[in-house]
Amino acid sequence: MSSIIALIPVLIFFVFWIFVIWFLLTLVKSSNERNMLLREISRKLDGLQNNNNIN
């Protein structure tokens, strides 16, 4: 029984680091998606600006 109780801090430690890694991966993924969206918007705005300069 005491060995199971002794494993609880180790399990909490691993769960904490798994959560941190998951959070960082989610943050990086959302940042990449946001950057792709902003890049697409920028391209479309550049296209509109170029069309206005031609006319």
How does pLDDT run across 1-55, given as a tens digit for each residue? 788 888 999 999 999 999 999 999 999 999 999 999 999 999 999 888 777 766 5
pLDDT of residue 54: 65
Please give the structure tokens belonging to residue 8: 């609880």
C-alpha span between 35 and 29 (Å, rounded): 10
pLDDT of residue 49: 78
What's at 10, amino acid-wise?
Answer: V
